């Protein structure tokens, strides 16, 4: 029994390579079924995100077969590439290394942002797609379930995901410290780039009351807002909506401020001086520094958040050390399970062999009973004969081990049969 993982990620491949080998979720089932049919491989699952694509495969290599090469060739053919051109971007893990890798991925230890939680949900989606496609077997199904358990233990027993490691996350944490609850707060995001996408996602996860996205290009604002249940406005409309904002986060590419002291003063009057939190993540700044002079305003810049981010990163790095220790233990647990599975065939053969001996002895005893022999004598002969037959091969093996000075086998036999020393108390 063996498992392997073949993949590429943000560490090994640039984005123009990664995007060529990304699989949309809605296509995964068909892709897995097609790969199984084309390759003849048994257990398969695919994890595909913006930062990684990995194929997990369980089973054994047939004589003359290399599953890793089959998967490499299949990936290369999908993009009409020579396998040699793709190979430098790939990594390959086998057995214990595969187990450790998938545990680390699900725990966020191999992510672009250390400890990010989204990858576990993506891993669960990959498991579900493979299950629905019918390409999960006993080994991969058990591996995924153990992976989820290991990742949960890392999340529960360490602080790997509790500290901010991005300015977007830090902005949300700052808002949580200032307001008792975000569930009734209105958040206005100014800008629609990657930073605002991340900020919107973090705020949406906290269940905010209302989300408004303002951007110079209305279509981009609408796209971002619609993903998180909000609504969009143009940048020109921002002054009219500013009074509704309990929290304003900005990150545009403007060369000069787009929110001035006067517009914030007007908004505060309409709000009857209900406090506002403004977080300026832009460089150059989007909010005039003079806004900080106003009462009932909390203004923070990206520099104010950097210390929080650095502290959070140090905290996560320390938690990652604890997480690696947990994963070491969980890897060994799964390897133990695999070793037991590898022995299943041997145990079955032993039982079959014993069953054949039993049937032969029983058949002989039944014939004797039908012939009118004494029942007690038959039972005595049956038990003696069965004992002799069951012990013949182990006894011969131990005698040969002694002749060959294989005392390790003799010790193993004593342990297996639980034979205690004569002088033991």
Query: Catalytic site residues?
Result: 50
Structure tokens at 17: 């390579």
Q: Judge contact between 2 and 41, C-beta under 8 A.
A: no
Indicate the DSSP class of residue 287: B
Q: In this structure, how many other beta carbons lie within 10 angstroms of the beta carbon of residue 181?
A: 11
Q: What are the φ/ψ torsions at residue 24 (nearest 5 degrees)?
A: -60, 145
Q: Judge contact between 82 and 90, C-beta under 8 A.
A: no
The CA-CA-CA angle for residues 310, 311, 314, to 5°, reads 85
Give CA 238 to chain center in angstroms.
40
Q: Judge contact between 130 and 45, C-beta under 8 A.
A: yes
Q: How many residues does the chain have?
A: 425
Task: Return the bridge partners of 126, or none.
Answer: none
Indicate the DSSP class of residue 259: B
State the Cα–Cα distance between residues 143 and 54, nearest whole angstrom: 15
State the Cα–Cα distance between residues 399 and 416, nearest whole angstrom: 16
What is residue 210's three-state secondary structure? strand
Q: Residues 164, 170, 172, 173: what is their CA dihedral angle, to the nearest 10 degrees? A: 60
Treating both helix axes as pointing N-terminal to C-terminal, what angle do 375-403 and 302-370 enclose, rounded to 10 degrees? 130
Q: In this structure, how many other beta carbons lie within 10 angstroms of the beta carbon of residue 180?
A: 9
State the Cα–Cα distance between residues 347 and 93, nearest whole angstrom: 29
């Amino acid at each position: 029994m063996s498992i392997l993982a073949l993949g590429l990620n943000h560490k090994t491949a640039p984005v123009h390579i990664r995007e060529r080998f990304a699989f949309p979720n809605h296509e995964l089932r068909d892709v897995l079924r097609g790969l199984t049919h084309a390759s003849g491989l048994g257990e398969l699952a695919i994890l595909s995100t913006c930062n990684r694509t990995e194929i997990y495969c369980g089973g054994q290599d047939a004589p003359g077969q290399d599953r890793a090469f089959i998967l490499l060739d299949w990936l290369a053919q999908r993009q009409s590439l020579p396998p040699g051109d793709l190979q430098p971007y790939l990594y390959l893990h086998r057995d214990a290394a595969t187990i450790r890798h998938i545990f680390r991925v699900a725990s966020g230890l191999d992510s672009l942002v250390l400890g990010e939680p989204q990858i576990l949900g993506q891993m669960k989606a990959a498991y579900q797609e493979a299950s629905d496609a019918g390409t999960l077997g006993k080994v991969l199904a058990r591996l995924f379930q153990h992976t989820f358990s290991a990742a949960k233990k890392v999340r529960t027993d360490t602080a790997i995901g509790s500290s901010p490691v991005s300015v977007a996350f830090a902005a949300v944490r700052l808002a949580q410290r200032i307001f008792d609850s975000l569930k009734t707060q209105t958040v206005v995001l100014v800008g629609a780039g990657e930073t605002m996408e991340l900020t919107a996602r973090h705020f949406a996860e906290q269940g905010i009351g209302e989300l408004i996205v303002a951007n110079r290009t209305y279509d981009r604002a609408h796209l971002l807002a619609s993903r998180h249940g909000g609504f969009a406005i143009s940048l020109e409309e921002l002054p009219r909506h500013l009074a509704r904002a309990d929290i304003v986060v900005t990150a545009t590419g403007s060369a000069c401020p787009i929110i001035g002291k006067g517009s914030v003063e007007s908004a505060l009057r309409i709000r009857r001086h209900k406090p506002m939190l403004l977080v300026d993540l832009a460089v150059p700044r989007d909010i005039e520094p003079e806004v900080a002079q106003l009462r009932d305003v909390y203004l923070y810049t990206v520099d104010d958040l950097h210390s929080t981010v650095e502290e959070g990163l140090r905290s996560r790095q320390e938690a990652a050390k604890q997480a690696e220790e947990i994963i070491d233990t969980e890897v060994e647990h799964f390897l133990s399970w695999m070793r037991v599975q590898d022995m299943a065939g041997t145990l079955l053969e032993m039982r079959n062999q014993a069953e054949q001996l039993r049937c032969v002895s029983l058949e002989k005893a039944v014939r004797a009973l039908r012939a009118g022999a004494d029942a007690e004598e038959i039972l005595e002969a049956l038990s003696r004969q069965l004992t002799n037959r069951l012990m013949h091969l182990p006894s011969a093996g131990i005698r040969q081990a002694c002749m060959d000075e294989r005392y390790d086998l003799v010790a193993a036999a004593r342990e297996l049969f639980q034979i205690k020393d004569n002088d033991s108390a």
